[in-house]
Amino acid sequence: MDDIVDLVTRSLADETAAAFTERVDEQAMQLRRAIEAGEFDNEAFSVGLEIELYAINAEPDPPEPDEDEDGEAVAEEDLDDDLSGSGDAAWSGSLEAPAEPEDGGGASLEPGGGNEASLEPDGDDSLEPAGDELSGQSDGDADDDGDDSFGPGEGPSLDIDPDSPLAEDEPETPEEETEPAVESTVEDGEVDEPYMDPEDWAGRLTRLPDVVFEGEANKELGLHNAEVNTEPNSFDQTGMEVQTTAVEMQTKQARQQASKHNCELVLDAMWTIPPEEGSEAYLSAHETRDGVVLAENMRQAPRYVALDNEALDRAGGSIDFDVPGYSGSFPTILFESLATSIQPHLQIPDAAAFPEYYNAAIRTLGPLLALSVNSPFLPADMYDDTDGEWLCANTHHELRIAAFEQSVNTSENPKVRVPRDLDDTTDVVGRVVDDDLFAPFLREFLHDDERTAFAEEFWEFDHKRGTYWRWLRCVIGGTAVDGASTEKSLRIEYRPLPTQPHVKDMIGLQALTVGLIRGLVVADHPAVELPWQEAKRSFYNAARDGSDADLSWVTADGERTADHDEIYDEIFQYARLGLAEQDVPEARIDEYLEPIKARYEAGVTPSDWKIGRVREYLDDGDDLSTAIQSMQLDYIENSREHHSFDEWV
């Protein structure tokens, strides 16, 4: 632990910031020149996917603790955990993910396992919470428009980012054993009976032992979090089939590994059944050592700890969280770990065309989020005397947007927001350079060898890119993909989508996202004619109102529309076009997109389902806390019994 405290102290020192900034500037200049020289042009498109999960008690016995290990050494991969929600693991050369299945062709979409701060920007685009409204946001990046001004208070997703140039993804060795979520009271010789009543135990959040991460799962911000991610593949029939197989197999393997230790990994966007000590206690527990705050239920990775301390310092020692039905503050950014998400990636082979794809993708943020919303409730014990019917009518359909934005948007220029349009491909470099500096590290903190590979040459720039927390961002560089790209590549990381109930749903959203972006550009669709401000407004409307959101779109005929049928007819039409353009056969396109189209036609998102279920329990006489927990248990059971969300409705 002393090593972590020392590294965090060095990270936050003024001299580190000065040296880091100088190196980032030098590396950025080289990257601009390389992009302009065509060094980032590639042969074909590639795709990848990251999926975040959380853990619950799988049976009424406590998780098996890890064996004691000497934990003073700091693993290199622990330094590079990215609080970005991005993970970027899909392209990470350092992640060393398992090899792709050799028989990926013909993959099935069947599941692998058996088993109010205002969303509307206010007049000055400030993000300060107000009453029961979600946070708004600045109009764009600080470098986009000299006249833009930003208020304090937006924030990001803090999941691991193994795509920075730090070390392999190996299990960390903790200094001392993490306590299980609940302790057993069974003594030797006693009858081995459940240590809790099932109704007290079922579905509670729990911490994952390190042994779970010896398989397909990777570590995340919270001790209860995990991530699985695919190796990138070419964007074509075979590549999409391999993606499907990889998601199925890796999710299944991670769940099986967790189940051996009395944990269940859940595909969901926000946990709502608290751990035994209570949600606020779990998210707030911390100690201070030599001036460094150490959150007890956060991975003790130097970068996580440094980011936590940076955000806390900028916020004055505590960070406010304000959404409908809840207003509080936390002594750590860990409340970001309430939420989980998926991040599709799309690598663009023609560097000069990158702005066209990026700007089109911004226009899709609202419509795609509105289809996928899945986090309308916080943990049940975070609502004190909130009226249940009022909450169901006023909660946001995607609370994870507020959790991300408010957890770390503590600097002058909020780091998590809808980005401005790109004018030139090299703008992606300048935006990282101009972004507010959070928790810098220098490469020699970990390495004393010479820089030889691409990732090592641009180590500090990539480290800063890991804290560029926009809802859509460009990632420069990554793992080479046979027949598609070298390590010098540019890709879109699509960050706002919540984790879905089934593998089939997540593959469907991945196909819808990458197919739509490709289809809009290949057809020269005028979607980009929608003013940026309207695209941003649609995004926050979707986070607040879900499937009922007021959305804006420009049709293929160049007409503005807010009609959902017109919007989604084109969403699915151009996604199909984009997939077909990449030689994905019609039958496969149907298999990918139909589950998502079916939920639209039914008019029910996962968030709608959750709110409806809670209302049913309230009507039966349950209090709000009981209704939320009962809904969550139903959600978990449905996710075990069905193959896709549309089967629920």
For 59-94, give the DSSP string.
Answer: SSSPPPPPPP----SPPHHHHT--TTS---GGG-TT
Which residue type occupies 555?
A: T
Quickly tell me which residue has 């793992």 as its tokens.
Answer: 479
Delimit the domains of the chain by residue range: 2-183+193-499
* Residue 366 to residue 371: CA distance in whole angstroms: 9
Q: What's the token pair of residue 454? A: 């691409």
**Per-residue pLDDT at 333 exceeds 80:** yes
Q: What's the token pair of residue 333? A: 């950014």
Q: Which helix (H) or strand (E) holds 183?
A: none
Q: What's the token pair of residue 500? A: 């879905």
Calculate the CA dihedral of residues 431, 436, 438, 443 and round it to 10 degrees.
50
Helices 532-545 and 354-372 sit at what angle, rounded to 10 degrees? Answer: 20
Number of Cβ within 10 Å of residue 71's Cβ equals 18
Q: Are 55 and 180 in contact (CB under 8 A)?
A: no
Closest C-alpha to 272, from 201, 135, 376 = 376
Q: Are 53 and 228 in contact (CB under 8 A)?
A: yes
* Residue 57 to residue 259: CA distance in whole angstroms: 9
Q: What is the mean pLDDT of residues 234-241?
A: 98
User: From residue 68, how far is each of 75, 174, 438 by CA, in Å?
Assistant: 17, 8, 33
Q: What's the token pair of residue 57? A: 């008690």
Classify the C-alpha dihedral 336-337-338-339 as positive or negative. positive
Q: What is the mean pLDDT of residues 148-170?
A: 36
Q: What ranges in 118-182 are assigned the alpha helix state H?
A: none
User: From residue 170, how far is each of 69, 75, 165, 213 by CA, in Å?
Assistant: 14, 8, 15, 8
The reported pLDDT for the residue numbered 141 is 55
Q: Are 319 and 329 in contact (CB under 8 A)?
A: yes
The reported pLDDT for the residue numbered 80 is 47
Q: Are 558 and 527 in contact (CB under 8 A)?
A: no
The reported pLDDT for the residue numbered 47 is 98
* Residue 87 to residue 52: CA distance in whole angstroms: 9
- The model's pLDDT over 354-385, given as tens digits with 9 standing for 90+, comes to 999 999 999 999 999 999 999 999 999 999 99
The reported pLDDT for the residue numbered 191 is 39
Cα angle value 262/264/265 (rounded, 5°) = 145
Please state which of the ranges 69-83, 334-348, 352-366, 504-518 shows the lowest mean pLDDT: 69-83
- The model's pLDDT over 66-80, given as tens digits with 9 standing for 90+, comes to 544 444 445 545 544
Q: Greatest CA span in the chain, whole angstroms? A: 76
- The model's pLDDT over 423-456, given as tens digits with 9 standing for 90+, comes to 999 999 999 999 999 999 999 987 778 888 888 8
Closest C-alpha to 116, from 397, 466, 458 = 397
Q: What is the mean pLDDT of residues 399-405?
A: 98
SS3 154: coil
Please state which of the ranges 157-166, 275-284, 617-626 shows the lowest mean pLDDT: 157-166
- The pTM (predicted TM-score) of the whole model is 0.84
Quickly tell me which residue has 């099932």 as its tokens.
Answer: 198
User: From residue 366, how far is each of 174, 338, 463, 471, 537 by CA, in Å?
Assistant: 41, 22, 29, 11, 8
Cross-strand pairs, 357? none
The reported pLDDT for the residue numbered 161 is 44
Burial of 444 (0-12, 13-18, 19+ CB in 10 A): exposed
Q: What is the mean pLDDT of residues 254-275?
A: 95
Give the DSSP per-residue string, 599-642: HHHHT--HHHHHHHHHHHHHHTT--HHHHHHHHHHHHHHHHHH-
Q: What is the mean pLDDT of residues 513-525?
A: 98
pLDDT confidence band for 1 (50 / 70 / 90): confident
pLDDT confidence band for 210 (50 / 70 / 90): very high
Backbone angles phi, psi at 386, to 5 degrees: -65, 135
Distance, CA of 470 to chain centre: 11
- The model's pLDDT over 2-60, given as tens digits with 9 standing for 90+, comes to 789 999 999 999 999 999 999 999 999 999 999 999 999 999 999 999 999 999 998 65
Q: Are 506 and 500 in contact (CB under 8 A)?
A: yes
| Radius of gyration (C-alpha) of the chain in whole angstroms | 23
Quickly tell me which residue has 């300060």 as its tokens.
Answer: 128
SS3 487: coil
